[in-house]
């Protein structure tokens, strides 16, 4: 009656309007649901036929014959599976009594049920999702790993010997280090090393089960030696300094405090090193870290040396694969104007285990964990820290003060670290392979989050790695430029991106932090979507990471408040430069030109699932995530191909069309 009076209509007209409107909305909803159900039905049919075809082609990996000889029925398989499950529980119960802690059966480690939603921006799922494995990563159970007084004496003696070995390995050239004329890289002469250095403890000799990795590199970084040393002896600062290499680290025991600050400091450390992909196993190690200032040939430098303790402490739980860190580290020498010259040596023995073929060359060549990568990341991070501390760098956009600038950089640093940790196999994350993925490179996992800094609930993460026949800086330039990336519909949902703030944090123009406005139709003065993005590059690889943030969170950071509580769910790319091996199998051509270099592109997507622990998985969901990643890579590859054609047609003058 009130509406009819205000609108000048009869009450029956108002009544019929609402009835018609409800009928229209119900019809539209029914039509939408029918379209979705038809698509779901077709997808299930296709998946069913594909699985039938796959079953007909299955062979036993051991003998090459049929996987189930004699046509065993499913009922018999279920009975056998139940019997094996009971046997497993019995064995776990017996083992638990011997090691003093319960052992989970394989059933507890199965991948969780989940429902996937591949919208690029984090959003709530329509259906709830279940909880997963441990909410927070725990460190290996080595509570009894404490050095006694007599062991501390041995450790100090070994520290002196390891420091001497590191100094000689940093300063000695041939015959200890032999340069490969083809690659230009230095190779450690293992026989000469054994002759020069006799480790005080008679450790086991090298065997065919272990592969030796040794590398050396030197560079000048924009940070003084005191600040660098302080970062190495503080586990948290060390992780922040190398977010793409050090997944976790902690100081287990301080054996010697040292004198005059950090000089003579000896610590028992734990670290987990990773590559930004679930396809490469992490490397875990307990080691001793010694810091000493020395004077050699009228030169003063700091030595940071890591060396193993497995020779005199046998209660150590080993990791998989086995990783034996030999005396490694760096020499740091002060230079004018706050710079330092750093010479880095990495030396380790790693258990020879198969690596996924797409990363095999990257790992076995030493590029994954070698001195070159450590030093390249250090050089870039030192530039970033210098930019963080600077007060005279002009920024572009809406940043009101130096404190707001620092807070935005700290927020972006946390975004980078969260992304790096969540797309690798660190912290015991269990990843599930997607069977339809090309080259078997797509992995998915879920995790339950309850702490501040990330959206609380169940997070779904999907990662894919693809080899591209383009130099890594071409891929990086495409993905970091918001104007060009907006052309990739699968990544932008067709929305344009407009930069409203820009912070340069390195000498390379690609090392920067951007605050982007997402120009969508629903944006108004009351509702604005923003994106925080950081891109960084060095000779070891490049990162482009971004996350949507709301205006209130940005204003909180800009006002000088602590940004650690702002929830971030980062997505992004890790681009690794690759040199093609001349084995006849890695040569290719593109656009009529011989390819000499390529890159590995790792795409990492994260979405907020739900806080309600109930959901189911279906084949169409797996197909959706696989299709989304494949579409992403295809669009990136197509954009790179068109850019390459434009560059070649321009005569190679450096301007892309």
402-581+595-644 adopts what CATH topology? Alpha-D-Glucose-1,6-Bisphosphate; Chain A, domain 4 (3.30.530)
CATH 3.30.530.20 fits 149-199+208-389, yes or no: yes
Three-state SS string over 326-384 comes to CCEEEEEEECHHHCEEEEEEEEEEEECCCCCHHHHHHHHCCCCCCHHHHHHHHHHHHHH
Q: Is the pLDDT of residue 130 over 50?
A: no
Confirm whether 149-199+208-389 and 402-581+595-644 share one CATH topology.
Answer: yes
Q: Is the pLDDT of residue 86 over 80?
A: no
589 pLDDT band, cuts 50/70/90, is very low
564 C-beta neighbours (distance < 10 Å), count: 11
* Residue in the structure block whose two tokens are 């940043």: 399
588 conformational bin, left if phi > 0, alpha if psi -120 to 50, beta if neither: beta
Q: Is the pLDDT of residue 68 over 60?
A: no
Of 463-472, 571-580, 608-617, which range is least confident? 608-617
311-315 average pLDDT score: 59
End-to-end CA distance of the chain: 65
Q: Is the peptide bond between 203 and the residue preceding it cis, with omega within 30 degrees of 0?
A: no
490 pLDDT band, cuts 50/70/90, is low
Q: What pLDDT is attached to residue 73? A: 58
247-251 average pLDDT score: 93
60 C-beta neighbours (distance < 10 Å), count: 11
Rounded alpha-carbon distances, angstroms, from residue 68 to 58, 71, 79:
9, 6, 15
| Alpha-carbon gap, residue 327 to 370, rounded angstroms | 14
Query: Strand, coil or helix: what is 638?
Result: helix
**Token reading at 540:** 């070891």
| Alpha-carbon gap, residue 490 to 528, rounded angstroms | 21
| Alpha-carbon gap, residue 279 to 440, rounded angstroms | 10
Q: Which long-range contacts (CB under 8 A, 24 or more apart) does 4-13 make?
A: none
β-pair partners for 573: 544, 603
Q: What ranges do the domains of the chain cover?
A: 149-199+208-389, 402-581+595-644
β-pair partners for 253: 268
* Residue in the structure block whose two tokens are 């000499």: 596
31 C-beta neighbours (distance < 10 Å), count: 10
């Amino acid at each position: 009656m009130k509406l009819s009076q205000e609108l000048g209509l009869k009450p029956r007209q108002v009544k019929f309007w609402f009835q018609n409107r409800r009928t229209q909305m119900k019809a539209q909803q029914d039509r939408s649901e029918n379209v979705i159900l038809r698509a779901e039905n077709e997808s299930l049919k296709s998946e069913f036929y594909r699985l039938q075809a796959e079953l007909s082609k299955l062979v036993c990996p051991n003998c090459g014959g049929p996987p189930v000889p004699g046509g065993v029925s499913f009922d018999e398989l279920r009975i056998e599976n139940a019997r094996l499950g009971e046997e497993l529980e019995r064995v776990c119960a017996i083992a638990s009594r011997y090691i003093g802690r319960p052992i989970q059966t394989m059933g507890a480690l199965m991948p969780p049920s989940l429902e996937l939603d591949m919208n690029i921006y984090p959003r709530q799922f329509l259906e709830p999702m279940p909880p997963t494995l441990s909410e927070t990563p725990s460190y290996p159970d080595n509570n009894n790993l404490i050095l006694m007084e007599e062991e501390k004496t041995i450790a100090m003696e070994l520290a002196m010997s390891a420091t001497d070995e590191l100094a000689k390995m940093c300063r000695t050239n041939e015959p200890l280090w032999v340069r490969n004329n083809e690659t230009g890289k230095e190779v450690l002469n293992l026989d000469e090393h054994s002759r020069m250095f006799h480790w005080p403890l008679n450790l086991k000799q090298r065997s065919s089960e272990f592969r030796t990795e040794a590398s050396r590199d030197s560079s000048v970084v924009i940070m003084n030696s005191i600040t660098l040393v302080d970062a190495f002896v503080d586990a948290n600062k060390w992780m922040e300094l190398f977010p793409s290499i050090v997944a976790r680290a902690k100081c287990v025991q301080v054996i010697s405090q040292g004198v005059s600050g950090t000089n003579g400091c000896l610590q028992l450390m734990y670290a987990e090193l990773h590559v930004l992909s679930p396809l490469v196993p992490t490397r875990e190690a307990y080691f001793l870290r010694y810091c000493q200032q020395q004077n050699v040939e009228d030169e003063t430098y700091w030595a940071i040396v890591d060396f193993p303790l497995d020779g005199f402490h046998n209660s150590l739980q080993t990791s998989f694969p086995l990783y034996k860190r030999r005396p490694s580290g760096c020499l740091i020498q002060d230079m004018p104007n706050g710079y330092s010259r750093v010479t880095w040596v990495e030396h380790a023995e790693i258990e020879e285990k198969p690596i996924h073929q797409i990363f095999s060359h990257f790992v076995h060549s030493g590029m994954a964990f070698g001195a070159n990568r450590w030093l390249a990341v250090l050089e870039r991070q030192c530039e970033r820290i210098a930019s963080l501390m600077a007060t005279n760098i002009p920024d572009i956009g809406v940043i009101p003060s130096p404190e707001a600038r620092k807070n935005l950089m700290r927020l972006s640093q946390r975004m980078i670290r969260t992304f790096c940790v969540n797309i690798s196999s660190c912290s015991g994350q269990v990843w599930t392979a997607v069977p339809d993925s090309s080259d078997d490179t797509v992995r998915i996992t879920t995790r339950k989050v309850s702490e501040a800094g990330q959206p609380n609930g169940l997070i779904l993460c999907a990662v894919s790695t693809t080899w591209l026949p383009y130099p890594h800086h071409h891929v990086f330039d495409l993905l970091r430029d918001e104007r060009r990336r907006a052309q990739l519909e699968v990544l932008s949902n067709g929305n344009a991106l407009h930069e409203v703030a820009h912070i340069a944090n390195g000498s390379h123009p690609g090392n920067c932090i951007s605050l982007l406005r997402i120009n969508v139709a629903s944006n108004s003065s009351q509702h604005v979507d923003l994106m925080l993005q950081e891109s960084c590059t060095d000779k070891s690889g490049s990162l482009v990471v971004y996350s949507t943030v709301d205006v209130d969170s940005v204003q909180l950071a800009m006002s000088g408040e602590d940004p650690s509580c702002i929830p971030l769910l980062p997505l992004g790319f890790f681009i690794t430069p690759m040199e093609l091996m001349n084995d006849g199998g890695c040569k290719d051509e593109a656009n009529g030109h011989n390819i000499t270099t390529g890159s590995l592109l790792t795409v990492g997507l994260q979405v907020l699932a739900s806080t309600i622990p109930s959901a189911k998985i279906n084949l169409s969901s797996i197909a959706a995530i696989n299709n989304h990643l494949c579409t992403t890579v295809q669009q990136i590859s197509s954009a790179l191909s068109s850019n390459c054609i434009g560059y070649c047609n321009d005569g190679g003058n450096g301007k892309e069309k």
